[in-house]
C-alpha cells in the first residue's frame, strides 16, 4: 500500500499530515492553493485506503468460499483425468489470485485422495512407488492419464468380446431352431463339426469306439465296442 500511495504522490500526506498555516498570519494566494491541493490529495489518499480495505474484505470472503470449494471437490464418475485436473487447478489459481498459494504438494495430495474408487489401486501404487513431496502435478497427471487409457482400452475390448459372443450365441440359437431346437435331433443334419471317430473309448482305449451304433451295455453299466 505504501508503494501505491507513493505512486499517487500521497504518501507524505499520510506520514506527515497537511501543513497548517500559522495563526494570525495572512496567507498568500500561492499558499492557499498549496494547502487546497494538499487537502485534495489527502481526500484521495483516504479514498484509496477505503477502497483497499473494501477489496481486502472481498478477497477474504472469496478466499473462504474457494477454500470450501477446494476441500469438498472430488472426481465425479465418468469425469476424465484431464477435466478433473483442469477443475482443481482452476480453483487453486483463483485462491492464488486472492492471496493463498496451495503449493504443489497440497494439490497433488488433494487429487490423490479425491479420485473415484476405480483409481484406488492406482493411487496406492503411486503413493508406494513415488515420493509425493517431490512429485509434480504434471508427472501425476501423466501417470494417471496412462492408467486411464489402459482402463478405457480394457473396457472397449470387453465390450467387443461381449458383442462378438452375443452374435455367436444368436447364430447358435437360430441353428437350433432350424434343427428342431435344443436337446433333440431335428430334421436337419444335427450338430456340426464334432468328429466322433477321433474319440478314445474310456474302457478299451480304442479310437472310433464312440461312433453311434458301436456300443453295447456291459456289466456295471459300462459301454464298450464289440
Q: Where are the domains of the chain?
A: 1-20+27-72, 73-156
CB 98 within 8 A of CB 62: yes
pLDDT score, position 75: 95
pTM of the model: 0.50
Grid cell listed for 178: 432350424
Mean pLDDT of the chain: 74
Where is average pLDDT lowest: 67-76, 83-92, 121-130, 157-166? 157-166
Q: Residue 190 — pLDDT band, cuts 50, 70, 90?
A: very low
Q: Which residue has the higher pLDDT, 131 or 13?
A: 131
Say whether pLDDT at 173 is over 60.
Answer: no
Say whether pLDDT at 135 is over 60.
Answer: yes
What are the angstrom distances between the C-alpha of 159 and each of 147, 164, 165, 171, 223? 18, 9, 10, 19, 45
Query: Exposed e or buried b for every residue in 14-37, given b needs 16+ CB within 10 A?
Result: beeeeeeeeeeeeeeeeeeeeeee
State the average pLDDT over residues 46-54.
69
What are the angstrom distances between the C-alpha of 67 and each of 96, 104, 115, 162? 11, 16, 19, 45
In 3D space, the residue among 123, 114, 113, 127 whose CA is nearest the CA of residue 148 turns out to be 123
Say whether pLDDT at 215 is over 50.
Answer: no
Contacts of 216 (CB under 8 A, 6+ apart): 223, 224, 226
pLDDT score, position 104: 95
State the average pLDDT over residues 154-168.
58
pLDDT score, position 89: 96
pLDDT score, position 166: 60
For 98, half-sphere exposure in the C-beta direction (CA atoms, 13 angstrom radius) is 20
Say whether pLDDT at 100 is over 80.
Answer: yes
Amino acid at each position: 500500500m505504501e508503494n501505491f500511495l507513493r505512486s499517487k504522490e500521497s504518501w507524505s500526506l499520510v506520514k506527515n499530515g497537511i501543513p497548517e498555516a500559522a495563526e494570525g498570519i495572512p496567507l498568500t494566494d500561492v499558499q492557499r492553493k498549496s494547502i487546497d491541493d494538499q487537502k485534495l490529495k489527502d481526500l484521495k489518499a483516504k479514498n484509496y485506503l477505503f477502497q483497499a480495505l473494501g477489496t481486502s474484505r472481498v478477497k477474504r470472503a472469496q478466499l473462504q468460499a474457494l477454500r470450501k470449494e477446494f476441500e469438498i471437490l472430488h472426481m465425479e464418475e465418468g469425469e476424465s483425468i484431464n477435466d478433473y485436473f483442469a477443475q482443481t487447478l482452476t480453483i487453486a489459481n483463483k485462491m492464488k489470485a486472492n492471496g493463498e498459494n496451495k503449493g504443489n504438494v497440497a494439490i497433488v495430495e488433494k487429487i490423490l485422495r479425491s479420485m473415484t474408487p476405480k483409481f484406488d489401486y492406482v493411487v496406492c501404487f503411486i503413493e508406494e512407488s513415488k515420493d509425493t513431496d517431490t512429485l509434480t502435478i504434471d508427472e501425476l497427471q501423466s501417470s494417471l492419464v496412462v492408467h486411464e487409457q489402459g482402463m478405457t482400452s480394457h473396457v472397449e475390448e470387453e465390450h467387443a468380446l461381449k458383442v462378438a459372443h452375443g452374435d455367436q450365441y444368436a447364430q447358435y440359437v437360430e441353428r437350433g431352431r432350424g434343427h428342431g431346437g435344443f436337446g433333440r435331433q431335428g430334421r436337419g443334419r444335427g450338430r456340426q463339426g464334432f468328429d466322433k471317430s477321433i474319440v478314445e473309448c474310456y474302457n478299451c482305449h480304442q479310437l472310433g469306439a464312440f461312433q453311434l451304433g458301436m456300443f453295447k451295455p456291459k456289466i456295471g453299466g459300462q459301454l464298450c465296442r464289440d
